[in-house]
Amino acid sequence: MSAIKFCLAQLNFKIGDFEGNTAKIADTIFNAKQKGADLVIFSEMSVCGYMPDDLLDYPWFVEKCEQSLEAVAQSCQGIAAIVGGVMRNPNKGRSLQNVVCFMQNGRIQQITAKTLLPTYDVFNESRYFEPASATELINFKGVQIGVAICEDIWDIYNDFEYPKSPGTILKDLGADIIINPSASPFHLGKQSLRNRVFSGQASRFDLPVIYANQVGIHTELIFDGASRAINSNGEVALQLPEFKEAVHYIDFENNKFVSSNTVPVEPDEIETLHAALIFGIQDYFNKMGFKKAVLGSSGGIDSAVVQALLTEALGAENVLAVLMPSQFSSDGSVNDAKQLSINLENTFEILPISSIFNQFEDTLKPVFNGREFNLAEENIQARSRGVLLMAISNKLGNILINTSNKSEMSVGYSTLYGDMCGSLSVLGDVYKGQVYALARYINRHKEIIPQEIIEKAPSAELRPGQKDSDSLPDYGVLDEILRLYIEGRKSKDEITMEGYESQVVERIVNMVNANEYKRYQAPPIIRVSSKAFGKGRIMPLVAKYQ
Amino acid sequence: MSAIKFCLAQLNFKIGDFEGNTAKIADTIFNAKQKGADLVIFSEMSVCGYMPDDLLDYPWFVEKCEQSLEAVAQSCQGIAAIVGGVMRNPNKGRSLQNVVCFMQNGRIQQITAKTLLPTYDVFNESRYFEPASATELINFKGVQIGVAICEDIWDIYNDFEYPKSPGTILKDLGADIIINPSASPFHLGKQSLRNRVFSGQASRFDLPVIYANQVGIHTELIFDGASRAINSNGEVALQLPEFKEAVHYIDFENNKFVSSNTVPVEPDEIETLHAALIFGIQDYFNKMGFKKAVLGSSGGIDSAVVQALLTEALGAENVLAVLMPSQFSSDGSVNDAKQLSINLENTFEILPISSIFNQFEDTLKPVFNGREFNLAEENIQARSRGVLLMAISNKLGNILINTSNKSEMSVGYSTLYGDMCGSLSVLGDVYKGQVYALARYINRHKEIIPQEIIEKAPSAELRPGQKDSDSLPDYGVLDEILRLYIEGRKSKDEITMEGYESQVVERIVNMVNANEYKRYQAPPIIRVSSKAFGKGRIMPLVAKYQ
C-alpha cells in the first residue's frame, strides 16, 4: 500500500528576508532528500515570514515572494515539498492570496489558497487576501492530500462559527490526510487549546492531520512551533518541541502515522511563560542584530524579574543595570538592586537623580509658582530616569528594555515617556501576580532575586512613603478584575456579579479606559496572553466609554 | 406622481455616547417633522459613532447599540428615518453586522446590512462584521429605495474590484433611488474623488443618489461631511458644507431632485488643509473635554504653524507657548519665537535648558566617560524639553500638542520621548513643503508668523551650526521621494526611474524603514493624506526590508 516519509520542518523565518528564508528552505529540502524523505512540509508563508503586514501593499515585495517560491521549487528534484507564501490573485477581489505550493519535479505543481482568513485580535488577513474560491486535493504517491492552511482547520474553534468548513470540504472530496501549514502564535493555554483542536478535528473528519507551525518572534508575536502529527483517532504520533527550530521525520503507512515519539505532558504554566519570554527576548535581539541591553533597576520586583530574564537570555555580560535613586528611594531598594546585579553578575551603575530633579524644579519655578508637589513632580522623576536610560542607550548602543507589567499598564500606573520608555516590553502582557510567580521560579534553585525584593510591599517610590496599595486594591484582586475586563470582555455589572466590590470595579475599569492614550504610545509588548495590549486590542481614544 | 421631502442630517456623533447620539438623532427627527419632511437620512453607525473598534467586542456595547436603535425608532411617528448602527448577526459567521434601519410608525421596519466591508488603510470592518447575505428594497410612498452603506457604492473605485456590486444588485431589483449612509473620512483630494465616484455611479446606474456622511474627528480620522444629493445624470442637486454639522432638505419628485443649492467649486488645497486641521484640533479638544494647550515653541516653522493653528482653533488665551533655548539655540530663534507669541497674543514662558542639560551630562559622566558629543547629547536636549512640557501639562492641565511634521516623522528626524511627545500630532501627516504653504496661508492677511521663521534654513539647533540640509536633501526633493514611497508604494528602483539620484533614494527609503520603531510610539496623527502614519499603515518592526 501507499507509504510516504514526511519531513516536518519547523523553522524560524525572518519577515522579508527572502534570500535567508529561501536558502533555509532549500537546505532543509536537500537534507531531507539525503534522509530519504518523500515530502517536506513547511509552515504558512514561509518564504516571506508571517506576517509582513503592509509590506504586502508593495508590489516589489509580492514579486520577490513569487520569485522565491519559483526558486525553491527548482530544488524539488526527486523529492516534493509544500511551501507557504503569497501570490497575486488571478481573479476579482483583493489582489493577493495566502497560498501553499505543492512542488515536485523542479516546479510548482499545484497552488492551494487559504479559505478562512483570520481577522480578529492580532490577525488582519482580510486586509490583504481574497479567500480561496475552489478546493482540490493533491494526489501524491497514491495518497489524496488535502491542504488546509492554519485557520482553515479552526472553523468551529472561535468566538463565532465560520460559514464554511474547509476540513469538511476536503473530507467530502475524498482526502486521506489533511496537511495544515500554520503560523500560529503562542499564548498561555494555547498548547491545550491545540490539543483539543487537532485531536478534535482529526476525530471529527476521521483523518490524520499534520500541523506544521513556524517558530520565532515577529515584533509582539511569539510563534512557538509545537508542530505535530495526529492520527485519525486523535492520538498524537509526533510532537515537535516548543520555542526552537526542529526538523523531524515520520512514516505514513496505510493512512496511519508510525508513531515516532511520545507526547510531552503539558508543562507548568510559569515554566512555559518563562521559556516563552526568554525565547522572545533572544529572538528579538537576534533578528534585530542587537547584542546588549540596558534597563532601569529600581529594587522592585518588575525590574528584578526583567533583569534576570535578560541575563538568562543574553548573558550576564550583555546586561547593564542602571540604579537611579531619588530622594524618595529607600536605602533598602538601592541595596536590593545592587545585590541583584551582584547575584546576576551584571555591570551596574548608580546615577542619583536628585540633582536633575532639583534642576527641573528650579527651571520650572516661574511656571509652577509655588503649587504643591503632585503627579507632575512624580512624573519628572520617572521621566528623568527615562532620559538617562535613553542617553546611555544612545551613547553605548545598549537597547533599552521596558519593565512595566500588565497590571500597571492596564490602570496607567506608569509614566508615559518615563518608565514606559523602551524598545520592547517584556512584562507588558504579564500580570503582577504572574511576575511574582516568575520571581519564585527564577529563584527555584538558589536565591537570584533577593528575597527582600519579593517580600516588600510594591511601591513606585515617587513620593515619601508611597505604596501601590494606597491607590490600588491588592494585586490578587486587581489582576482578577483586569482579567475579567480585558481577556473576559465582561461589563462592570458582570464583574461585580462575580463577587467584587462595585466601587472597586467601577474605579479599575474606568482607569483602564482612561489610560488608552498611554498605551497608544507604549513599546511593543511580547504577547503571552490571549488578549494583549498592542495590535490585538484596538480601542478608540476619542470616545465615551461605559 | 410620487414625491418625497428628504431631510439630510450631517451630524457629529461621539463614539459610545449612546445617550448623546440618540438625543441628537431624535431631536433632528422632531425638527424635520415640524418642517414637513417625510424621511430623515442619518450617517452610517450613527447611534454608536464610527468607528468603535474593539468596543464592539464587548456584548454590553452592542446591546446598547441595539437598544438605541429601538429607542430612536419610537420617535418616528408621522415621519420615517434611516438610521445606522450595529446589530447582532442572526446567522453563521462574524457575530455582528453593520446595518441601517428603516424606521416608521414607531418601530424598525426593515434592516439592511452592509455588503462590502472595507478592510484596508484605516478601515477594519472585516474584523467585526459579517457581510449582508441578501438585499431588498424599501417601498416608501411608492418609491423603491435601495440602501447601499458607504463602501457599498465604491465597488469599482479601489485598488481592487470587489466581486460584488451592490449598486448593480439594487438597480436590477428595480430601485428608483440609492441612499448611501456613510462614514467617509477626509483626505486631501477626497472631495474630487467623491465627485467622480458619486456622479459616476449615479450615471452608471442611471439612478439618483443621496450620500449622507458624518462629520467630526475620531482620534486620527476627520470626517468632513460634504454630504450631497445627485441626480441620475450625475449632477449635484444639493451639496452640504465640509467640517460642520448641517441639516438640509430637498424635494424629490418624479425620480428627480429639485435642485436646492449650487455646487461649490473645489477649494484651494491649502485652504482645505487649513480648515481640516483647525476643525481637527477643535473637535478633538471638544470631545476630550480639553480646553487649553501647551507646546514647545522653538522659533522654527513647524511649531510656529502649530501655534497659529492652535490659536485659531482654541483662542489665544488657551495656548501656552514654552521657549526652551539651549546653548545651541540662536538668538534669532528665541526672538522669532517671542515675536510669534506676541503676534498671536499667547502667553509664553522662557525656560532655558542649559542647566538641566549640564546636570544630565554631569550625572552621566561615570558612564559617558569622556566619549565625544554625539546623538546622545542632541537627544538629551530634546528629551529635557519633553520633560518640561509634560511637567507643565501635568501641573497646569494644558494638553501637550506635538509639532513634528510628516517629512521628519518619515526619516526619523525627531527624538522619541523628546519632540515626539504629545497627545495629538497636528502636522504628522503634513509634509514640510505643505507646512511652508500653511505658513504663507496663515500670513495671507497680515504677518502672523514672523517672516524670519519662514525664510531661515530649517535647523534642529541641537549642535553648533546644525542645518537640516546637512543630513537631508532639500525638502522639495525629500517630500517628493517620500510621497512616491509612502503614498505611491513605489520601490527604490521605480523612484530612481522618476529622476531622483539613486543614492539619495536609497538613503531616504532606508531611513523611513529604519524608523518604524519611533513611529510605533508616536502620538495619534490627524490624517489629511491618503496614507498617513498610524492605524492606516501597519509595518512590521522585526523584519528585513528591501
- Work out the minimum CA distance from B452 to partner chain A, whole angstroms: 28
Q: For residue range B165-181, what is the model confidence (pLDDT) as tens digits?
A: 999 999 999 999 999 99
User: Does A301 or A463 have the greater pLDDT score?
Assistant: A301
Contacts of A383 in chain B (CB under 8 A): 383, 386-387, 390-391, 417
Mutate to test the interface with B, among A122, A489, A544, A545 (most CBs of B within 10 A): A544
Give the integer Cα–Cα distance in Å for B423 and B281. Answer: 11
Q: Taking residues B104-126, what's their average pLDDT? A: 98
| A368, closest residue in chain B (CA to CA) | B395
* pLDDT given for residue A497 in this prediction: 97
Give the integer Cα–Cα distance in Å for B394 and B379. Answer: 22
Give the integer Cα–Cα distance in Å for B111 and B96. Answer: 13
Q: For residue range B63-90, what is the model confidence (pLDDT) as tens digits?
A: 999 999 999 999 999 999 999 999 999 9
* pLDDT given for residue A148 in this prediction: 98
* pLDDT given for residue B15 in this prediction: 97
| A164, closest residue in chain B (CA to CA) | B93
Q: A29-38, A190-199, B417-426 — which is least confidently predicted?
A: A190-199
* pLDDT given for residue B458 in this prediction: 82
Catalytic residue among B5, B7, B33, B44: B44
B140 φ, ψ (degrees, to nearest 5): -130, 120
Could you tell me which of A542, A29, A94 has the C-alpha nearest to residue B290?
A542
Give the list of residues 6+ apart from residue B475 with CB closer than 8 angstroms, or none: B407, B431, B432, B433, B436, B458, B468
Burial profile A208-222: b = 16 or more Cβ within 10 angstroms, e = fewer: bbbbbbbbbbbbbbb
* pLDDT given for residue A65 in this prediction: 98
Cβ contact B212:B182 at 8 Å? yes
Contacts of B60 in chain A (CB under 8 A): 491, 493-494, 546
Give the integer Cα–Cα distance in Å for B260 and B248. Answer: 9
Q: For residue range B135-167, what is the model confidence (pLDDT) as tens digits?
A: 999 999 999 999 999 999 999 999 899 999 999
Active site residue B150: yes
Give the integer Cα–Cα distance in Å for B162 and B172. Answer: 18
Q: For residue range B518-542, what is the model confidence (pLDDT) as tens digits?
A: 999 999 999 999 999 999 999 999 9
Cβ contact B16:B48 at 8 Å? yes
* pLDDT given for residue A461 in this prediction: 83
B538 vs A53: CB contact, 8 Å cut-off?
yes
A305 φ, ψ (degrees, to nearest 5): -65, -40
CA distances from A325 to A68, A336, A449, B93 (A): 53, 12, 19, 55
From the list A162, A364, A421, the residue facing B417 with the nearest CB is: A421
At A471, the pLDDT band (50, 70, 90 cuts) reads: confident
B284 vs A542: CB contact, 8 Å cut-off?
yes
Cβ contact B44:B181 at 8 Å? yes
- Work out the minimum CA distance from B135 to partner chain A, whole angstroms: 18
* pLDDT given for residue A467 in this prediction: 80
At B266, the pLDDT band (50, 70, 90 cuts) reads: low
From the list A356, A379, A387, the residue facing B391 with the nearest CB is: A379
Cβ contact A349:B369 at 8 Å? no
DSSP string, A287-302: HHT---EEEE--SSHH
**Count of all residues that appear for chain B in the document:** 546
A92 vs B392: CB contact, 8 Å cut-off?
no
Give the integer Cα–Cα distance in Å for B47 and B527. Answer: 24
From the list A126, A160, A421, the residue facing B93 with the nearest CB is: A160
- Work out the minimum CA distance from A218 to partner chain B, whole angstroms: 6
- Please report the beta strands in A45-135, taking only residues with DSSP state E, as ranges in sequence order: 80-88, 96-104, 107-113
Interface contacts (A, B; CB < 8 Å): 268
Angle between helices A190-205 and A166-173 (to 10 degrees): 30
Give yes or no for residue B457 having a pLDDT over 90: no
Give the list of residues 6+ apart from residue A173 with CB closer than 8 angstroms, or none: A135, A136, A137, A144, A146
- Please report the beta strands in B346-455, taking only residues with DSSP state E, as ranges in sequence order: 347-350, 399-402, 424-425
Our measurement of the distance from residue A248's CA atom to the centroid of its chain's CA atoms, rounded to an integer in Å, reads: 24
Q: For residue range A418-454, what is the model confidence (pLDDT) as tens digits?
A: 999 999 999 999 999 999 999 999 999 999 999 999 9
pTM above 0.90, yes or no: yes
B351 vs A366: CB contact, 8 Å cut-off?
yes
At A541, the pLDDT band (50, 70, 90 cuts) reads: very high
Could you tell me which of B164, B186, B176, B187 has the C-alpha nearest to residue B210?
B176
Angle between helices A502-514 and A475-486 (to 10 degrees): 60
- Work out the minimum CA distance from A370 to partner chain B, whole angstroms: 11
Burial profile B247-268: b = 16 or more Cβ within 10 angstroms, e = fewer: bbebbbeeeebeeeeeeeeeee
Cβ contact A153:A178 at 8 Å? yes
Q: For residue range B44-54, what is the model confidence (pLDDT) as tens digits?
A: 999 999 999 99
Work out the number of other CB atoms within 10 angstroms of the CB of residue B391.
23
B163 vs A356: CB contact, 8 Å cut-off?
no
Give the integer Cα–Cα distance in Å for B348 and B205. Answer: 58
